[in-house]
Structure 1
Amino acid sequence: MGAERGNHGAGAAEGEVLLPASGSASGEQLGGDLAGVDNRDGLVVFVHGSGSSRHSPRNRAVATGLNRAGFATLLMDLLTPTEHASDERTGRLRFDIELLTNRVLGVLDWVSERADLNARRVGLFGASTGAAAALGAVARRPRAARAVVSRGGRPDLAPDRPEDVHTPTLLIVGERDAEVLRLNENFARRIPAEQEVHRVPGATHLFEEEGALEQVGQAARAWFTHYLFEPSSTPS
């Protein structure tokens, strides 16, 4: 009930949607879950990585918090079912950032063609290698999203130069995730956009510690609220 199938431009209800899969040899589409379309403003597209999917419990928890805060959310798979099965055996596609970046751009095109979504300001929430794909997407298409949030991301794997990222970017990293923290700090120093590295005290890479994921959600909500709800030219 409530699911929409196919790439239609308008009138879709919440629920499961099918999204374009750029470069798919099999012609399959990507799965997605759309929620909060009745909320007032802003759409956050979740970009999963490192073998995960739209069913990631961590990202779904963050998405639920964003829905309660007034955002619409789209959790998407980056791989088709056939590709996911192949990647489970080889682990290769999850690191094909060029492919993943093109998938994100294709989904942003899908959003722009939908009458119930295309007037919203869009944000991207990327995790692990998905963060690299999200950053690649905004580097190539700066107006496609108003803000990016990365959770435990690998910005060093982004296919474009950090200097090409002109979208405000929040990099959330566990304080005890030392190598990933170093990579994020290096990336932040090079991008020309407004940026912040948010360290979650005591947290490791998966934010499994008590209260860590709640801090991720709070930081993401604050960032998206500022950039998706307010005019970009807010006076200082």
Structure 2
Amino acid sequence: MKLDAAGALLEADVAVPPEPRGLVLFAHGTGSSRLSPRNRLVATQLGAASFATVLTDLLTPEEEDRRFDVDLLAGRLTGILDRLAELPEVRALPVGLFGASTGAAAALLAAAARPQRVRAVVSRGGRPDLAGAHLAGVTAPTLLVVGERDAEVIALNRAAAAQLTGEWALRIVAGAGHLFEEPGALEEVANAARAWFGVHLGRGRDDAGPEGVVMEGGGHA
């Protein structure tokens, strides 16, 4: 389907399982799209856990040169949030955002812009530091997932987490690099996201935490 987001008509794949627990909107990273196999794997696992999912392109084909424009991406993501609130099949669902790379910064900017709408955020190998001063406006519980071998991004995530005013956790996946291409690494990301959204969007249903990760946390629970 197509969604009108801040004046741009964007392609989106919306999947709604029976009796959904919540809705997760994906924000892909630099140079990626709604067809990203990594995000689709995570979306499939969330769907199996009864979460509705939305994978969307935040740029039109003519705008690919603006893929580093985090403010534009965030504006589009916020526009999609507003449009989803008008769709009968999902408008009553609690909403989470899943962002990768620069999409994580866009997700955090959107969470700061719509604090009453966004209930949780998960970042995969993200650049939350690119959200800058807006990090202080993010009150939604935020999970930052980074590969153990992605040292620079771990440092950037730790620094960004210190600026968040809501609950947060940093999960470091053992042996994983930036793209989580190692066997089982991306599945651990999906398990972490399912657990986080299960707690914060799950309407009272319990989820076990993921294994194979080191966790740090802070903020206001």
Distance in 2, Cα, partners of 1:230 & 1:36: 16
TM-score relative to the length of structure 1: 0.83
- Which residue of the partner structure matches residue 161 of structure 1? 134
Deviates more, 1:113-122 or 1:36-45: 36-45
Q: Deviations over 1:133-190 (max 9, x none)?
A: 0000111221121000000000111154321111100000001100111000111122
Q: Output the amino acid matched with 2:141.
A: P
Distance in 2, Cα, partners of 1:215 & 1:105: 28
Q: State which of 65, 69, 77 in structure 1 corresponds to 2:45.
A: 65
Distance in 1, Cα, partners of 2:132 & 2:163: 15
- Which residue of the partner structure matches residue 119 of structure 1? 92
Q: Deviations over 1:68-127 (max 9, x none)?
A: 01111000111012223xx2xxxxx11111111100110001111111111000100000
- Which residue of the partner structure matches residue 111 of structure 2? 138
* 8 Å Cα contact 2:5-2:83 kept in structure 1: no
TM-score relative to the length of structure 2: 0.89
Distance in 2, Cα, partners of 1:154 & 1:35: 27
Distance in 1, Cα, partners of 2:81 & 2:24: 11
Distance in 1, Cα, partners of 2:45 & 2:114: 27
Q: 1:80-229 to 2 correspondence within 5 Å? A: 80-84=60-64, 87=65, 93-158=66-131, 160-229=133-202
* 8 Å Cα contact 2:109-2:135 kept in structure 1: no
Q: How many aligned positions are there?
A: 205
- Structure of larger gyration radius: 1
* 8 Å Cα contact 1:23-1:99 kept in structure 2: no
Is the counterpart of residue 46 in structure 1 residue 58 in structure 2? no
* 8 Å Cα contact 1:171-1:196 kept in structure 2: yes
SS of equivalent to 1:190: coil
* 8 Å Cα contact 2:143-2:171 kept in structure 1: yes
SS of equivalent to 1:197: strand
SS of equivalent to 1:100: helix
* 8 Å Cα contact 1:139-1:160 kept in structure 2: no
Q: Output the amino acid matched with 1:22.
A: A
* 8 Å Cα contact 1:44-1:125 kept in structure 2: yes
The runs of 5 or more residues in structure 1 that have no matched partner are 1-16, 88-92
Q: Output the amino acid matched with 1:20.
A: D
Distance in 2, Cα, partners of 1:216 & 1:175: 12
Is the counterpart of residue 19 in structure 1 residue 3 in structure 2? yes
Q: 1:159 to 1:105 in 2, by over 3 A?
A: farther
SS of equivalent to 2:196: helix
* 8 Å Cα contact 1:66-1:73 kept in structure 2: yes
The runs of 5 or more residues in structure 2 that have no matched partner are 205-220
Q: Deviations over 1:197-235 (max 9, x none)?
A: 00000100000011100100000000000000136xxxx
Distance in 1, Cα, partners of 2:15 & 2:83: 16
Distance in 1, Cα, partners of 2:113 & 2:3: 20
Q: Output the amino acid matched with 1:83.
A: E
Q: 1:105 to 1:159 in 2, by over 3 A?
A: farther
Distance in 2, Cα, partners of 1:204 & 1:101: 26
CA RMSD of aligned residues (A): 1.4
